[in-house]
Structures are given as structure tokens and as C-alpha cells.
Amino acid sequence: MHTVVVGTSGVTASDVLAVAREGARIELSDAAVAALAAAREIVDALAAKPEPVYGVSTGFGALATRHISPELRAQLQRNIVRSHAAGMGPRVEREVVRALMFLRLKTVCSGHTGVRPEVAQTMADILNAGITPVVHEYGSLGCSGDLAPLSHCALTLMGEGDAEGPDGVVRPAGELLAEAGITPVELREKEGLALLNGTDGMLGMLVMALADLETLYKSADVSAALSLEALLGTDKVLAPELHAIRPHPGQSASAANMLAVLKGSELTGHHQDDAPRVQDAYSVRCAPQVAGAGRDTLAHARTVAERELAAAVDNPVVLPDGRVESNGNFHGAPVAYVLDFLAIAAADLGSIAERRTDRLLDKNRSHGLPPFLADDAGVDSGLMIAQYTQAALVSEMKRLAVPASADSIPSSAMQEDHVSMGWSAARKLRTSVDNLTRIVAIELYAATRAIELREGLTPAPASRAVIDAVRAAGVQGPGPDRFLAPDLEAADAFVRAGGVVAAVEPVTGPLA
């Protein structure tokens, strides 16, 4: 099994995906253990002094003015975890919780948190044992960290609350730890706070969304090319010299992908035949511009994610010179903005894909295709309601594109009076990514059927490869009406698994 070694200087997006989705094992580097021990010495020295230090010998948030005596500090750390584990609503997905825990461990191992090495090792042991804390949908405002979600994880570390075992069954965390031979942690000064104070949930969801969207944008370029082909459109608008004079990198990449897919097609270039048209509709002609802008948004979001992956987010932090200083690095604004930005770009990509699907189904705009791609229009409805489903998904994506980060709501007796809502931005982006996958799947379903209905014209070799792969995946071709939902589900599974890109690249070479 793949092993991820956590050091003092952050982790990569690939590390996050390996732990969250593939169950990779985690090891702590010697440097990380040494940094943990050194920072802990500083915290212990401060804890022994009579002067109050925030997070070490004081209360938290609006209660930070109270100095806590040594005999109550262990109770204080337990209490902050118990009281902050106040999430509600449905359970969050296993991969999100694993990413959340792993990224908190990454910051702990930076040596800036003051957490003991044995606490970090226990976090790694829990992940390696396949134990996943029960984390709920609601409880984070994206500031002072993803507090409730991280608290539910810390509760498991203490052997309290509920968690999911490696068999998928939810049981008391104490039982699961005992079966795995893991001793629950007795938290000491600052450790409870250090386990809660991070942007780890929203960052983990950003990293996973970026990975999913990278594949989806390539898939959308392919489905757009197939729609252009099915509509007998022109590929001249994809010429690299046209995109070079508007030098957005994403636009050029999308145009190049479409051009590669369409190479060798007998269907393109017939837009001047029976019903001459000077130009294709915007949804066809401007596909690289819209998808390209989304690609450039991905690039910006990836830069933010990389910076956050290299960060140590905690408050207060232990500095190399021995100071323990308060800060505002837990504020989720940098991550929240790009999560919202991605939801906007995804909604627009879904919207333009739906417009192309609608053109394929409309006999007045499809240039010779049967109404709704039906076998016997009137007796058969064809893909009419598949487009309804696609339209409903697009409409929801537009609602999900409303930024969460534009909102703020004060908490903690006005001490935490401006928050990022980054967790909410991440949660709705996950729904957007799911919806976009389904939208691309429906366009692909319609475009492959439409190409097969163009008798006498041979599609591009790459298009043929996609059609063959789609059919092999259980998505049926043209014919009389049938129970449509299974076909759509199979198309969705095909796109979700990266089947579009896998089918095309042996013909086109790697897509950009």
C-alpha cells in the first residue's frame, strides 16, 4: 500500500488524495517528530509560568480573559473538544473526513502548534486503522477553523463520540480504538485548541474538487467536440492562430483538445450545405472561451490550494524564536473565495453544455436530426426528458453559484464578528461538481446518439472511440423508447470514472 510521509513543510495535493480516497498509510518523518518535541518544550515552559498565555493557560474566544489554574487545564482541553463537537445534520462523506484529519495532522507536524509527538502519532494511527469520526454537515463558519467538524475528529482521538469502523459500521469510538490497539489521548495545555483551529475541511474539499474538475473539464471539451460534430459545425473556429491572439491559456487548451478530437471527421464543415449558416451558435462556437475561462479559474484555485497546503494554520502559533503569538491565519477567506469562484465557473460550463444538448434535440436547429433524437417522433419521445433533467441540474447549479463567502454572521459574543463561510462554500461546490458530471454525461449521451444518426458520414476516429467506449459501458444507442434512467446512470458512471478521457487519449494523445 502507498505510504505518505508527513514532514514539517506541508504536503501535496496528491498526498491528500492518496489518504482521503485511496486509504494510503501515513508515517511521521523524524524531522516532524523532532519539531513536535521542540515546540512542545516551549509550550511546557510557558505553562509553568504564572503569566497567562492564550490557548495555554486561558479560556478561549470570548472567554480568553480567564486565567486557568494548572489543575484545571486538562479539563479545559477536554471541555473545548466536547463543547465544540456540536455539529448537526447528515454525516459528511468519509473521504472528506479523512482529508480533514490528514490536513490537521499536516499542520500539527509543522512544529508550530505545540502538540506532543504522541498526539500526532495517534492521529496517524486512527487514519491507518480506517477509523473515521462521524462529522456532521453543519457546524463550521469557516473562521477560527472548521471548529465543529474538527472537534468531532478530536473527540474520536479522546476515545469519545461515534466513528465509522473499517467495515463501514458506526460504533462508539472508544470501542473502535480499543480493537485497533490505540490508546485514547489525554489532552494537555493547548492541544485541544490546536486540534480545532484550521481550514482543513474546506481545503480538503477544494483539493478533491480540483482533481474532479480537472478531469471534468477535459471530458466537457470532448463532449463539446462531439456536439459540434453532430451539429455539422465548423472546426475552423478552433484554429490555434485564432486563440493565440486572445492569449488566455485555458482557452487555447480547450480549443486544442476539441480540435484533436475532431481530427479526421467527415461531419464537420457541412454548415453551408442544405441550410447555410455563416456561423455556429455561441454554445458551439464559444465552447473554448467558456471552458477555457473555467480552466484558468482552476489554475488560480490550484495556486491558492498549494499555498494553503504549505501553511501552518493555528492560533496561537509557536515561532522558532520561542514566542507563542496569536494571529488570524485561521480565517478561511482565501480558500472560501476560490471555492465560490469554482462553483460559478462550473455552473457556466453546465449551462453551455445544456444549450448544446437542447440544439441537438430541436429539429429546427439540429440541421437534419430527428426531433428529440427519437426513433419514431410522436410515438417515441426520445431524449426529451433527459434534457429536462439536465435543465433541472443546471438550474440548481446556478443557485449553488451564489457565493457563500459574500455572507458573514457574527459569533462568540461578537469576538468572532467576521467569518468566511468557507465550509459552506466547499459543501455546495461538491454538489455542483456532482451535478456537472451528470450534465456532461447527458450531453455525451445525446451527442453520441446524434452522431450515430448521421448516416453516410464517418465521425472522427476519436469520436468513434468514445462512442464505442460508451456503448461498452452499457449506454445504449439509438432505437425505440426504453427505460431511460439506467442509460443516464451508466453515462454518469462512465464520465465520473474518467472514461471519456481514457477513451480519447489513445487516439489524440494526452489532452491539455
Q: Which residues are catalytic, by number?
A: 54
Chain centroid to CA 154: 23
* Beta-sheet pairing, 3-6 with 25-28: parallel
Helix ranges (DSSP H) in 271-419: 282-285, 287-309, 333-361, 384-400
- Cβ(102)–Cβ(204) below 8 Å: yes
Neighbours of 166 (CB within 10 A): 13
Between CA 363 and CA 275 the distance in angstroms is 13
Cα(165)–Cα(101) distance, integer angstroms: 15
Q: Taking the CA atoms of 2, 298, 102 and 435 in sequence, report the sign of the dihedral they define.
A: negative
Calculated CA dihedral for residues 359, 259, 255, 282, nearest 10 degrees:
-20
Burial of 355-370, coded b for 16+ CB within 10 Å and e otherwise, reads bbbbbbbeeeebbebb
Place of cell 474532479: 212
What sign does the dihedral 116-117-118-124 (CA atoms) show?
Answer: positive
Count of CB atoms situated within 10 Å of the CB of 47: 16
First CA to last CA across the chain, in angstroms?
30
- C-alpha distances in Å from residue 15, one per residue of 27, 97, 192, 332, 388: 12, 15, 25, 21, 39
Alpha-carbon dihedral sign for residues 195, 197, 202, 204:
negative
